[in-house]
């Protein structure tokens, strides 16, 4: 299960050591830990997995030809994205391994993404597994990517290794495994601000359309 540690006012949320799929319990726990980070006035926020995966995405049966997402489940997932997107602190996804589907979108909700350089793929496999992007999820991805990259990534389901992900702007930087956490923490700390409330409000303005679509599931 996920866990939270705050050191030197930087909150690190470990998403877990397994596939870190978005089960109901997992989403609820992650939301609760984010609320703790805010309540304890962390000045930066980092997410990372501790195993092979950053997150393998939605907790659905991918053997089905077409997947219809339960409306309540979709609302919960998109609420999590909205919470991360507007956090009143710099946020960094330390993509330690595979980031697929909903897991890739979770990283997109952060301000910055650093990907482990020697292992893992970044992928939106929805077209391959029979999931239609809900408007909120599509808007989130498109808000962080240039149109050509969004088009190819979302319509092809291509798997991107770190070097290509960096080239296309899916991530902002890459790092060796042993430096990933250090660099993510440093990036969050270097972007800390004196007025976190203003930062949160600015994000709400910047991403108003995305947040509205995420809330409209």
- Per residue in 37-51, pLDDT (tens digit) is 999 999 999 999 999
Q: What pLDDT was estimated at residue 64?
A: 65
Predicted confidence at residue 68, as pLDDT, reads 85
Task: Give which of 103, 79, 101 is closest to 18, Cα–Cα.
Answer: 103
Q: What is the pLDDT of residue 67?
A: 81
Q: Where are the domains of the chain?
A: 3-180+191-215
According to CATH, the topology of domain 3-180+191-215 is 2-enoyl-CoA Hydratase; Chain A, domain 1 (3.90.226)
The pLDDT confidence band at residue 61, using thresholds 50, 70 and 90, is confident
Residue 63 has pLDDT above 80, yes or no: no
Question: Average pLDDT over the chain, rounded to whole?
Answer: 96
Dump pLDDT digits (tens) for 97-109.
999 999 999 999 9
pLDDT tens for 145-166 read: 999 999 999 999 999 999 999 9
Q: Given a cut of 80, is residue 6 above it in pLDDT? A: yes
Nearest to 184 by CA among 48, 84, 55, 51: 48
Once rounded to an integer, what is the mean pLDDT over residues 18-31? 97
């Amino acid at each position: 299960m996920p866990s939270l540690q705050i050191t030197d006012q930087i909150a690190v949320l470990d998403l877990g050591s397994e596939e870190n799929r978005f089960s109901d319990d997992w989403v609820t726990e992650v939301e609760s830990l984010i609320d703790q980070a805010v309540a304890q006035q962390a000045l930066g926020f980092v997410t990372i997995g501790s195993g092979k995966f950053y997150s393998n995405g939605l907790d659905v049966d991918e053997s089905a030809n077409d997947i219809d997402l339960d409306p309540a489940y979709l609302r919960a997932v998109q609420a999590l994205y909205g919470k991360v997107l507007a956090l009143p602190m710099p946020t960094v996804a330390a993509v330690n391994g595979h980031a697929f589907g909903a897991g890739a979108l979770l990283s997109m909700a952060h301000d910055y993404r650093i990907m482990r350089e020697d292992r893992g793929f970044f992928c939106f496999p929805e077209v391959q597994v029979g999931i239609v992007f809900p408007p909120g999820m599509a808007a989130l991805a498109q808000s962080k990517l240039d149109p050509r990259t969004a088009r190819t990534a979302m319509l092809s389901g291509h798997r991107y290794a770190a070097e290509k992900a960096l080239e296309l702007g899916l991530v902002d930087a890459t790092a060796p495994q042993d430096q990933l956490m250090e660099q993510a923490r440093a990036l969050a700390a270097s972007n800390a601000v004196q007025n976190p409330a203003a930062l949160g409000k600015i994000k709400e303005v910047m991403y108003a359309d995305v947040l509205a679509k995420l809330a409209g599931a």
